Structure 1
Amino acid sequence: EHGEHAHPHRRLDDIVRMIGASTLDAPVKERATALFRRLAEAEAAVHGTAPDEVGFHEVGAVDSIVDVVGAVIGLGWLDVDRFLASPLNVGTGTVKMAHGEFPVPPPATLRLVAGVPVYGAGEGELLTPTGALLVTAHATAYGPLPLLRPEGIGHGAGSRDTPGRPNVLRLIVGDEEAAAEGPRVAVIEAELDDMSPQLFGPLMDRLLGAGALDVFYTPVQMKKGRPGVLLTVIAEPRGRTAIEEVLFAETTTLGLRWQEWNRTVLDRESVAVETEFGTVAVKVARHEGRVTNVAPEFDDCLARAREASRPVKEVWAAALSAYHARNAT
């Protein structure tokens, strides 16, 4: 329950000045200020006024300001790649606030969780505006606990007693890739039927430069009988956002599909061999310690072939021969 006289009445500019006058690092100030502006926008939409005119009551309290700033600092320290959350339990019933009694969730909280999966279980307000602000500003997905290897676990308990359920927040930091059966990759796809063929070459260069592991185009037949291209990009899961930014900037697609796949990869190393044409790098793949594939690096073969004015296949064969001769038993 929020009492009308329990907290001071502060406006957005008051809070911004408090944060700005602090000794916090500049990125923390910037992020915390952005969060309070987002909250002010939600409150302003409820009251039909401008964000700068919003008067904070409950969230204007110093402890709430510390909550927001502390969360920004903590998430910065954790340096996680992505933030996931369970669906948010908003509670049920009504709550008394500075402007009267409101159904749960209150109007500002409801605006903050727009587009986010929520449910109501348990009496009372179980999701505060501060909590809604922090979770929705950082979470990129909502659902059950994903496959991961926990590396750090933290708990925070509230002072209010909530019968039938613990008033506790749990944070788990873990490694998704380490928990999977093997390395994982993100596979991003889009169909294109209205893009100039001249743009596909530069697009591939940009995608590879943004961290893509592989890019390929597959001819497909699309709706209305149009010939099109299925664009497929394979990337590290943590690099998916950068790939999506390139695709939306450089292609005509209006949407993307993506999923994460497990993959099995062989141990590999690059060794240098000496040939009559010069030094060539050779990639060697092993499975359980046994050599399964040997392949000269094409760029090296091409460079040596041009230098000697000889066919690339001769340099390729010479590199393979040099490797096998060196490793003959």
Structure 2
Amino acid sequence: MELFMRLKPLISVFALSLMLTGCSKVQNAFMDEQVKDRTDYSLITDQEHVRVILCGTGTPQVNSPRGQACTLVAAGGTLFLFDAGENAMRNLERNQVPVSAITKVFITHLHSDHISGLGGVINHSWVNGRQGPLTVYGPLGVSGLVKGLAMAYADDTRFRSMHFVPHPELAFAQAQTFFFNRGVESVRVYEQNGVTIDAYRVDHRPVDPAVGYLLSYGGKKVFISGDTRVSDLYLGALQDADLVVHEAINSGLIHQAADAMRRQGHAVEAQRALRVLDYHADTLELARLAERAKVKHLVLTHLIPSPPNFIARYLFSKGMADHYRGIITIGEDAMDIRI
């Protein structure tokens, strides 16, 4: 294997030279490899496990290489997409997700980094052969979002259907809005083929409503938080959960960054950085809540600030293990977890 790795650059150069000199066998083999179907159909054929793919673990932070908020859960032969921030479609394809099978999207709230990739998901799944309607579930406001996207993509749909894409009626999503009765903190929004999904109120004020989602299947529980401060509002959803995908902010690092901004004369930027602490989940507070709820595995996403390397990831989660005895994972785009 070591010898092969050393020779690999030479092999690549040799293959390229054959292609350039017109060796049809090499060219055909190269093209065959490029177009090979690598779609992971086990995501819709595996009836036993729950699969969770992180298709976006970042934020609007301009220097973050991560995709914006996006989590895919496969359960009971169905794909459930939770939020669709920028680059959602690209990251789903990189994970070989069968995009034409995406028919159910759940929006946690209407901040742009949770919806800016939704139009691409709707449009691209149609272009790639989706056979049924796509439903977007969400709290108040999701209907306007879906209608606005339909207007934005109207001409694109007309052009593509005139050219080669059939069933233009499937190019647009349908909205399913849910509401909370007074004094009720959760509501069931989906129940089919053994899968249930409950929406829980979270505390992302002044954004209201904002929700997280609890998916249950085969005795397994997965909670996706959306954006929220740590709160007992959704403690019941976390109770004994097998996996919790939760947004996280390291308050200490944010304060240090704000101090550095002030030293550099960027007082406005420093104040803006501190403002985000008001409605996001501090890592240490989150660890305490997860311990109270006896969460088995805590996956951190929507990471603020985005940790670019091993040292930054260590600093990001530092101290959490002092309060939480379960498994802690710092999420990365394309991470695939099976439970």
Normalising by structure 2, what TM-score?
A: 0.21
Structure with bigger strand share is: 1
Question: Which of structures 1 and 2 has the larger relative contact order (alpha carbons within 8 angstroms, sep 6+)?
Answer: 2
Normalising by structure 1, what TM-score?
A: 0.22
